Amino acid sequence: MEEKRNYQFETEMIHTGYDSKQFQGSLNPPLFQTSTFTFENAKQGERRFAGEEEGYIYSRLGNPTVTMLEERMAALEKGEAALAFGSGMAAVSAILLALTKTGDHILCSQGVYGCTFGLLQLMKKKYNINHAFSTMETEEDLLQAIQPETACIYVETPINPTMKLVDLEMISRVAKSKGIPVVVDNTFCSPYLQNPIALGCDVVIHSATKYIGGHGDVIAGIAVGSKEFISEVAMTTQKDIGGIISPFDAWLLLRGLKTLAVRMDRHCDNAEKLATFLGNHTKVESVIYPGDEKNKDYEIMKKQMRKPGGLISFAIKGTKEDAQRFMDHLQLIKIAVSLGDAETLIQHPATMTHSVIPKEEREKMGISDTLIRLSVGLESWEDIRDDIEQALDKL
């Protein structure tokens, strides 16, 4: 039996989960575009439904192309198993529903994606599953925020869109002392920049729409964790609610993963240069970028992230209308609410991705009316800079 070698990340993202010898030497993984699978006989169908024989039954329950993606993502995130979903929010909702029941409590980082906030509100209203936000800056903060009913701790780091960081080793250490699982939304980093499971956390979630896909042509989500937990979610929450990924979308993500490392390097290099430029501009009030040595979270970034990432948030001097006017003057940069694409994208969180959050709550999270989020693309950084400069000059 051939011994499995331990490869570096850049090799794993191209090869893990696929053996071309099993598919007539096809260099690229095949697309199994089928809704169901046939059985050799009735007894085989019975055995598979009973769990006595491995094999595919129906694509809502598993598909070979999807399996390849899940195995690759589990390896990249240093987890035992993964599940692919039809969207990032399908992954978030499946995991939170799997970890909670009526009367439970979810402790969240001080700021979450707008739709995650909406889900938390829905769970509170319909199922009496409460939540609270904490800065999670110290062990004392965390211990004070944990309640007897706390069923899980949900963390974004960097937080969307304030770019605040949370010390994952500290969070996981405190959570383990209380027997509470930690769920981390790792979308902003991708597994190339940060691996929460290696830092002691339990479940990692991605909106694979973003850096995993990388080309703005797919909606998908991923969850990674222990084999036991992921199997439980697969056979309950995912199977019965049905937020599955299509085989074609899984195939697109496998394609996108092949260039993840080189794309992330370019995103990060461009962002570092643009953050410096923005920080020196007279019409920019402030810049929030994890790679800034003056950022209070800089040491956390150095400890748990490979690079500072490809996202920058900055506040325009003036009003909400000034921020929107600046965006309207951009020519190269596109106004859109996603991130992680080849194109540089910009959005206004207070009126777009986080508009569902009440203004008072937004301000507590650090989302002002003049805050703008920039997803730095793969273009020449000078061209991105020049576009920002000409738009700022028009204010």
Active site residues per annotation: 60, 113, 185, 210
- Could you give the 3-state DSSP secondary structure of residue 209? coil
Distance, CA of 283 to CA of 325 (rounded, Å): 13
In the numeric block, which tokens belong to residue 174? 């405190």
d(CA 184, CA 197): 9
CB atoms within 10 A of CB 28: 12
> Prior bond to 308 cis, omega within 30?
no
Question: Distances in Å between the alpha carbon of 314 and those of 209, 283, 298, 359, 382?
Answer: 24, 11, 17, 18, 18
Contacts with 299 (C-beta within 8 Å, 6 or more apart), sequence order = none
| 105 in Cβ contact with 131 (< 8 Å) | yes
| Residue of 61, 88, 83, 58 whose CA lies nearest to 72 | 83
Residues forming beta bridges with residue 345, ordered by sequence position = 334, 375
The DSSP annotation for 273-342 comes to HHHHHHHT-TTEEEEE-TT-TTSTTHHHHHHH-SS--SEEEEEESS-HHHHHHHHHT-SSSEE-S--SSS
Dihedral, CA atoms, 139, 144, 150, 153, nearest 10 degrees? -30
